Amino acid sequence: MDRRPNSSEQRIMTGLVLKQEPRARVRRVRPQNCSVPTLSSLPNGEREAKTEEGKTPQGQTWEDAIRDYEEGQLGRRKLYAKLRVAFGEVEFEKLKNCHDNVKGRARRQYAPLDERFEEFPSFLSFMGPRPSPKHSIDRKDNGQGYSPENCRWATPTEQVRNRRNTVYLTIGDDSRPLAEWAERQGVSVETLYQRKARGWTDEEVINGKADRYPRAPLEAPWPKKHRGIWEYRFQLAGGGNQFDRLHFFRRALEECRRDLHTQVDRLWLPSFEGETCPPEEQIRISAVNQKLDDINSTLAWVLRELQEPRWRIEASRRHRAESAKEYDF
């Protein structure tokens, strides 16, 4: 069965196909005088005139606009229009978001919200504009509600240092967070936390604890790890020169050696012949014996030092001086 040709095929068959011309594009030209002038695009003279007229308030005129709104001379829409021109569209929206965030946090945290913060114009009149784009609303005392007396504009760093678990250090009447003291002193925060954990006072945490022990001279015979302690004990005993230090050290070592010998005798005694020493007692006895060996070697060094000619001369000089005092009537 033959198919009947459609309309396009009929036009082709009859030779009536015409070439379609492309549709002409209409270019819309915006008039030059239809742009909305802004305050920044005006010349200096017109800009000052506009500002003086109050049509484009900047700087201080936003306070007058809020005052007129509170007195009922200005509507909310006109007030917001003036504030948008005074602060700029972006900054106005940021201020509005700060106010909304304050009300939202007060509702979520069940914190009391002052009635002066209920409306945005009143909030702006008490808090003023932001000092910088990084500032936002922060409470001085986190235990109280949102009020003009308890709120401030603060940077993120200041807000981090004003948490409920923030550690404060006080010197006199100056109380600051621990992180701020660390920044002022040039010390790491971990160092101040470690000092605080040791039970130091606030002044010692901030300024560091002074050394309780005197500095020993380089020629002092004290052990390296405890030079300050030995010098402190020596000064309490009367002090003196290097000869006195050697004799003081000798007497202290001999006394320590006697104590260790007594400790070894008391550690373990066999109850019957052939009894073996327990492993725990063997470890303790070996540790004490090691201390005894160290003391004996140190004591031998001190005795060799005392045998030097200069100390022999000092000993004879002191012996003659003590003998003179003994027979002096």
Distance CA 207, CA 205 (A): 6
pLDDT band at 153 (very low <50, low <70, confident <90, very high): very high
244-260 per-position pLDDT tens digit? 888 888 888 888 888 88
Q: What is the pLDDT of residue 211?
A: 56
Q: Check residues 25 and 82 and name the one with the higher pLDDT.
A: 82
- Relative to beta strand 168-171, strand 174-177 is antiparallel
Q: How many CB atoms lie within 10 A of CB 58?
A: 15
* Domain segments of the chain as ranges: 167-210, 224-268+278-326
Distance CA 169, CA 144 (A): 21
Residue 49 has pLDDT above 80, yes or no: no
Q: What is the pLDDT of residue 47?
A: 41
Q: What is the pLDDT of residue 253?
A: 87
Instruction: Identify the bridge partners of residue 113 per DSSP, sorted by sequence position.
Output: 146
**% of the chain beyond a pLDDT of 90:** 5
**3-state secondary structure at position 104:** helix
Residue 206, burial from CB neighbour count under 10 angstroms (0-12, 13-18, 19+): buried
Q: How many CB atoms lie within 10 A of CB 277?
A: 13
pLDDT band at 28 (very low <50, low <70, confident <90, very high): low
Q: How many CB atoms lie within 10 A of CB 192?
A: 22
198-207, 220-229, 288-297: which has the minimum mean pLDDT?
220-229
Distance CA 52, CA 57 (A): 8
Query: Residue 257, by phi and psi: left (phi above 0), alpha (psi -120 to 50) or beta?
Result: alpha
Distance CA 120, CA 132 (A): 19
In sign, the C-alpha dihedral spanning 261, 263, 266, 272 is negative
Q: Check residues 315 and 90 and name the one with the higher pLDDT.
A: 90
pLDDT, average across residues 300-329: 67
Please give the model's pTM, rounded to 2 decimal places: 0.44
5-19, 160-174, 204-218: which has the minimum mean pLDDT?
5-19
56-65, 215-224, 226-235, 258-267: which has the minimum mean pLDDT?
56-65
303-317 per-position pLDDT tens digit? 888 777 776 666 676
Per mean pLDDT, which of 21-35, 173-187, 261-275 is the most reliable? 173-187
Distance CA 200, CA 169 (A): 11
**% of the chain beyond a pLDDT of 70:** 71
86-95, 99-108, 281-290: which has the minimum mean pLDDT?
281-290
Residue 118 has pLDDT above 70, yes or no: yes
pLDDT, average across residues 173-197: 87
Q: What is the pLDDT of residue 327?
A: 43
6-19 per-position pLDDT tens digit? 666 665 555 544 44
pLDDT band at 35 (very low <50, low <70, confident <90, very high): very low
Going by the DSSP 8-state scheme, the letter that residue 219 receives in this structure is T
Q: Which residue do the tokens 């021109």 mark?
A: 85
275-289 per-position pLDDT tens digit? 677 777 778 878 888
Q: Check residues 59 and 160 and name the one with the higher pLDDT.
A: 160
Return all residues near 211 (Cβ < 8 A) that are at least 6 apart.
Answer: 228
Q: What is the pLDDT of residue 46?
A: 43
